[in-house]
């Protein structure tokens, strides 16, 4: 199979075309690819991108399909059945799954792709909407070395680096590791901020001081700055972060790995999701602020 460059693979179809996918699509269009999309609502944030009426219809017109859906259920609904993506894909074509889904859903899609004669690469991305906007995502690609190399022009258009994580399924597993660290780090930050405020530290001083210390990652510093201003616009919605934490807990339990810190974080994010599902997951900081403000 030749490399999937604009010269020989000009048509890319997106299954799911929300905040992340639409930004990835913009970079692919700049690189010379033609983009179409399918969403259950039939709506697109980019009016220049043609919307197709079903996953099958999209797959029939695409050289490569990129799936970018929120969870296992959405992946299954769009991939399988008479109107599903796999029903419309040609033998020898390529399906790149950038969705953050469970290892089990990833394996199921790989096996279904094999039966359909379709190459499936699991390639979730590390980064939120700012990285998708700037084209600096980190692509976590699971598959054979040949398949990942052939897809490099697509990955290079949307990200700053591609990590070949190993055989199919490895990308999905690494994404859970990364998001677990991200979620637990934010939870620790929110709890520490809660203590500082309850102990009487000036709020502005506290937030500004934490922005200067090396122990907090650049990602979490960005969340802290936004929280200081009360800005919880959804770069990574709480409902999706809580979903990823839930998937990680299940995956760890299957391997008999104890993860008490991640379990506690998942409970905090479950509360955050219930209170503000479509705001950024960093709204957990606001939850802690309100908790200490209302104490006693």
Phi, psi for 139 (deg, rounded to 5): -90, 130
Q: Catalytic site residues?
A: 175
What's CA 197's distance to the chain center, in Å? 32
| CATH 1.10.1040.10 domain range(s) in the chain | 174-293
Cβ neighbours, 10 Å, residue 290: 12
Q: Which residues contact 255 (CB under 8 A, 6 or more apart)?
A: none
Q: Which residues contact 18 (CB under 8 A, 6 or more apart)?
A: 39, 45, 68
Is residue 89 within 8 A of residue 75, CB to CB? The reply is no
Mean pLDDT of 234-245: 97
**Would you say residue 1 has pLDDT above 70?**
no
Q: Describe the chain by its helix, strand, coil percentages, rounded to 5.
A: 55, 15, 35
| DSSP character string of 58-86 | HHHH-SEEEE--SSHHHHHHHHSSTTSHH
**Spatial distance between the Cα atoms of 29 and 23, rounded to a whole number of angstroms:** 10
Burial of 288 (0-12, 13-18, 19+ CB in 10 A): buried
Q: What is the pLDDT of residue 48?
A: 86
**Would you say residue 70 has pLDDT above 80?**
yes
80-109 pLDDT, tens digit each: 999 999 999 999 999 999 999 999 999 999
Task: Output DSSP code: residue 52.
Answer: P
Confidence band (pLDDT; 50, 70, 90) for 10?
A: confident
Assigned CATH for 11-166:
3.40.50.720
Q: Which residues contact 34 (CB under 8 A, 6 or more apart)?
A: 10, 11, 12
**Spatial distance between the Cα atoms of 204 and 107, rounded to a whole number of angstroms:** 47
Q: What is the pLDDT of residue 43?
A: 83
**Would you say residue 296 has pLDDT above 60?**
no
Confidence band (pLDDT; 50, 70, 90) for 291?
A: very high
Mean pLDDT of 115-126: 97
Higher per-residue confidence, 136 vs 45: 136
196-208 pLDDT, tens digit each: 999 999 999 999 9
Q: What is the pLDDT of residue 46?
A: 85
173-199 pLDDT, tens digit each: 999 999 999 999 999 999 999 999 999
Q: Which residues pair with 142 in a beta bridge?
A: 122, 166
Percent of the chain with pLDDT over 70: 99
Q: Which residues contact 38 (CB under 8 A, 6 or more apart)?
A: 13, 14, 15, 16, 17, 51, 52, 53, 54, 55, 57, 58, 78
| CATH 3.40.50.720 domain range(s) in the chain | 11-166
Average pLDDT for the chain: 95
**Would you say residue 279 has pLDDT above 60?**
yes
Q: What is the pLDDT of residue 294?
A: 72
Phi, psi for 289 (deg, rounded to 5): -60, -45
121-169 pLDDT, tens digit each: 999 999 999 999 999 999 999 999 999 999 999 999 999 999 999 999 9
Instruction: Read off the tokens for 128.
Output: 């939120």
Q: What is the pLDDT of residue 9?
A: 78
Q: Is 3.40.50.720 the CATH classification of the domain at 174-293?
A: no
**Spatial distance between the Cα atoms of 26 and 46, rounded to a whole number of angstroms:** 9
């Amino acid at each position: 199979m030749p490399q999937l460059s604009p010269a020989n693979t000009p048509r890319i179809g997106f299954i799911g075309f929300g905040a992340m996918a639409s930004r990835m699509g913009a970079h692919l269009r700049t690189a010379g690819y033609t983009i179409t999309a399918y969403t259950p609502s039939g709506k697109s944030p980019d009016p220049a991108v043609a919307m197709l009426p079903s996953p099958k219809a999209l797959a029939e017109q695409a050289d490569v399909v990129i799936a970018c859906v929120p969870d296992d259920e959405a992946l299954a609904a769009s991939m399988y059945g008479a109107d599903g993506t796999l029903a419309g894909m040609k033998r020898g074509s390529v399906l790149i799954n950038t969705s953050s889904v469970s290892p089990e859903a990833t394996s199921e899609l790989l096996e279904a792709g094999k039966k359909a004669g379709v190459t499936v690469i699991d390639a979730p991305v590390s980064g939120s909407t700012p990285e998708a906007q700037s084209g600096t995502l980190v692509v976590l690609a699971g598959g054979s070395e040949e398949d990942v190399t052939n897809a490099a022009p697509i990955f290079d258009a949307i990200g700053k680096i591609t990590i070949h994580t190993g055989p199919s399924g490895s990308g999905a597993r690494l994404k859970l590791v990364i998001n677990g660290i991200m979620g637990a780090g934010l939870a620790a930050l929110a709890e520490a901020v809660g203590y500082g405020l309850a102990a009487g530290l000036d709020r502005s001083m506290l937030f500004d001081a934490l922005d200067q210390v090396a122990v907090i990652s650049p990602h979490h510093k960005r969340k802290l700055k936004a929280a200081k201003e009360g800005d919880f616009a959804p770069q990574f919605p709480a409902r999706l972060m809580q979903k990823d934490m839930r998937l990680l807990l299940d995956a760890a339990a299957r391997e008999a790995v104890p993860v008490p810190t991640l379990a506690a974080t998942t409970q905090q994010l479950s509360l955050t999701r219930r209170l503000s599902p479509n705001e950024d997951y960093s709204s957990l900081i606001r939850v802690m602020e309100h908790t200490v403000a209302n104490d006693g």
